[in-house]
Amino acid sequence: MKFIEFLRVAFASIIENSLRSFLTMLGIIIGVGSVILLVSMTTGFREYLVGQFMGLGTNLIIVNPGKTETKGLGSPGFEGVQKMTKSDTIAIKRNATSVAAASSLIVGTADVRYLDRERRVMIVGTDEAFIKVINIGVDSGSFISADDVDASRRVCMIGHIVKNELFRSKNPLGDIIKIGGSGFRVIGIMERKGAFMGTDNFDDVVYIPVSAAERIFNTDRLLGMRIKARSAGMIEEAKRQITSILKKRHNNKEDFTILTQESLLSSLNAILKTLSAVLAGIAAISLLVGGIGIMNIMLVSVRERTREIGIRKAVGATKKDILLQFLIESMMLSLMGGTIGILIAFTGGFILSRFIPQMAPVMELWNIALATLFSACVGVFFGVYPAYRAANQEIIEALRHE
Amino acid sequence: MESEKLILLEGVTKVYGSGPTRVDALNNINLKVSQGEFISIIGPSGSGKSTIMNIIGCIDRPTAGRYLLEQIDVSNFKDEELALIRNKKIGFVFQMFNLLPRQTALQNVQLPLLYSGINLKERKERGLYMLSKVGLEGRWHHRPNELSGGECQRVAVARALVNKPSIVLADEPTGNLDSKNSIEIINLFKRLNEEEGVTLIMITHNPEIANEAKRRVYIRDGKIEEDTSL
Ligand SMILES: Nc1ncnc2c1ncn2[C@@H]1O[C@H](COP(=O)(O)OP(=O)(O)O)[C@@H](O)[C@H]1O
Ligand SMILES: [Mg+2]
């Protein structure tokens, strides 16, 4: 009963001094608005990265030569490292029972030419297992076969961008393109994969047998292997098997790094967690500042309304009634600030998602609920002292106050 | 008879400050008020009239002595208990009206009922009824700054009466009013006292107004010097 009336009085008082109230809320608005926007952007970015990683393929294991000391994404060092070759891949294929497919990878760039059209593209030398490991399909024709690799045939699969740039609307199947001077027959076109991490990597690629790549780039050193475990549950076992097979072949040295999507994501999460903590810290500071602003204005409000407090107490308001009335007012101030902050974050997020889709903010309910709760708590916390002052006002003095 | 002892002040003393700034505002006051009385308290400025009223109204406590309201000693009541007494048993009318400036006449009148936890519908009914008692039913939606001094004081009287208190205390209720409005307020008090049986204590320093009451108490230097039935 009283509560509704207190809400009404608090609201009326906020509206009456609307400019002052708004300026008071500004700290909370900025605090809540920025933290929600930043946290939801982090969340959106994380979801984007997870989607990209998971889109690579399921149960994927990445084996690269060189040992990184940390589990991070850093590039491996090559000191004292024995090169990794396609015979390592074959050994894994033969002996690792938890592995469903393993493919070699040699990557370089070369000029690719068809008639008078030329384009510098990424050349991926690999084998028939590649499309089993990596989540990518064939649009027309068929992918490089084991025979192609064994016979080191000069055949190639081309990505969509390569096809469009070199062949336009012409059907390229069976045509010969020049890769670094050697002729390769086009045996198929890869399915459109779209951007990965904001690049066109997957569609601006020519795939050739790994054996042919060895010759073009004049090396048998692999960039790495892409391996698929038989199931999610077998990833760990597969890693153990790969480790022991490779160590045996590399003088018992662990001169390679095994990454999984999980390990990549966990490093990513660790980074994002730190980022979130920093953001939370900034938010806490701005909410603190906002809270002090609320306390300041509530003290002014209590002073201005000394007589009103005296009147209310004279007709029977208890200390608790007065305390509650002013607490509600400060809480309402900061809640209104919080709500405006949330609305601004929403609007900002919406506009942002138009420009940077990868960072499209993902607003999570718990996040919004937490921000709302937090701003209410700020209101209560910083409202307690002014409300306490109000409640303990002496009636006679309050009534004498001008 | 029970009505004999609505208010009983026994040896009430009030001291403000200490040492060189010490003021003995009230000095051994004994006063008995019965149901249905209309008392005026008169005396020079600074004689302790407001102090006595503040103690009776439970917005101040005596330094020494006993105060019995309806036979209950409230001298040592806690703040919360005093708030309840102010709400249920006391009605105040002040010289400065003391209305909430941003609230309508009706909202001002309803205020004590709010702290009694009475619902909005009943608050409104009783508020309107009280406004009609003071002849302001048509002005219920006006704010104090849209009302004359006399009207404001009538709103204050309605507020003092709305919770059916045992006693109405008025501290110089005509102090800020012209003579015409003063007479109106005094006539309202007399009518409420005679027709509704409201018990009234009214402070004034105007002897003419003081003589409108049924009993007159004269205070000087914190002591009751004279207590006359009129
Ligand atoms: N809060 C206070 N502190 C100190 N002295 C006070 C206070 N309130 C009243 N007094 C003193 O007590 C005496 C009685 O005051 P009051 O009851 O207001 O007189 P009246 O209402 O008759 O003019 C005066 O001398 C006044 O100065
Ligand atoms: Mg006085």
**Global pTM?**
0.76
Give the pLDDT score at A120: 92
Least trusted range by pLDDT, from A112-126, A194-208, A257-271? A194-208
Residues of chain A with Cβ-Cβ distance to B94 below 8 Å are 399
DSSP A149-207: HHTT--EEEE-HHHHHHHHTTS--TT-EEEETTEEEEEEEEEPP---BTTB-GGGSEEE
A187-196, B76-85, B157-166: the lowest-pLDDT one: A187-196
Q: Given ligand 1 and candidates B12, B24, B50, which is best to mutate, with the most ligand atoms within 8 Å of its CB?
A: B50
Q: Is B14 in the pocket of ligand 1 (CB under 6 A)?
A: no
CA B22 – ligand 2 centroid, Å: 18
Q: Is the CB of B48 under 6 A from ligand 1?
A: yes
- Concatenating the DSSP letter of every residue in A363-397 gives --HHHHHHHHHHHHHHHHHHHHHHHHHHHT--HHH
pLDDT in tens, B2-36: 446 899 999 999 999 888 999 999 999 999 999 99
For residue B171, the chain A residues in CB contact (below 8 A) are: none
- What is the arithmetic mean of pLDDT over A351-365? 80
Do the Cβ atoms of A320 and B120 come within 8 Å? no
Whether residues A1 and B163 touch (CB distance < 8 A) is answered with no
| C-alpha dist (Å) from residue A74 to A206, A257, A268, B44, B101 | 27, 11, 12, 92, 70
Name the residue of B23, B54, B169 whose CB sits within 8 Å of the most ligand 1 atoms, as the mutation to test its pocket.
B23
- The Cα–Cα gap between A213 and A397 comes to 94
Percentage of chain A exceeding pLDDT 90? 53
Integer Cα distance of A387 and A328 in angstroms: 9
> Distance from the CA of A397 to the center of ligand 2, in angstroms?
13
Q: In this model, does residue A401 exceed pLDDT 90?
A: no
Q: What is the mean pLDDT of residues B113-120?
A: 92
Could you tell me if A96 and A242 are in contact, meaning their C-beta atoms sit under 8 angstroms apart? yes
Nearest CA to ligand 1 atom 24: B46
pLDDT at A43: 83
* Full set of structural domains in chain B with CATH: 2-229 (3.40.50.300)
Q: What is the mean pLDDT of residues A41-57?
A: 82
Average pLDDT over chain A reads: 88
What's the confidence (pLDDT) of residue B1?
A: 45
Q: Is the pLDDT of residue A76 over 60?
A: no
Strand boundaries in A253-381, DSSP class E: 256-260
The chain A residue lying nearest B82, using CA atoms, is A316
Per-residue pLDDT at A69: 52
Q: Do B59 and A396 touch (CB under 8 A)?
A: yes
Q: Which band of pLDDT confidence, cut at 50, 70 and 90, is reported for residue A31?
A: confident
**What is the arithmetic mean of pLDDT over A366-372?**
84
For ligand 1, whether the C-beta of B23 sits within 6 Å is yes
Rounded distance, CA A397 to CA A306, Å? 9
Integer Cα distance of A54 and A294 in angstroms: 47
- The pLDDT of residue A68: 61
List pLDDT tens digits, range A78-133: 555 678 999 999 999 999 999 999 999 999 999 999 988 999 999 999 999 999 99
Contact A315 B59 (CB under 8 A): no
**Contact B46 CB / ligand 1 (< 6 Å):** yes
Separation of alpha carbons A110 and B154, rounded Å = 98
With a cut of 90, say whether residue A386 has pLDDT above it. Answer: yes
Structure tokens at A313: 């107490």
> Contact B117/A395, CB-based, under 8 Å?
no
Query: Does A285 score more than 50 pLDDT?
Result: yes
Q: Is pLDDT above 70 for B75?
A: yes
A71 pLDDT more than 50:
no
| pLDDT band at residue A180 under the 50/70/90 scheme | confident
Indicate if the pLDDT at residue B43 is higher than 50.
Answer: yes
pLDDT the model gives residue A81 = 64
Q: How many CB pairs under 8 A join A and B?
A: 69
At residue B230, does pLDDT exceed 60? yes
Share of chain B above pLDDT 70, in %: 98
User: Which region among A362-376, B40-54, B141-155 has the lowest average model confidence (pLDDT)?
Assistant: A362-376
pLDDT tens digits along A291-331: 999 999 999 999 999 999 999 999 999 999 999 999 999 99
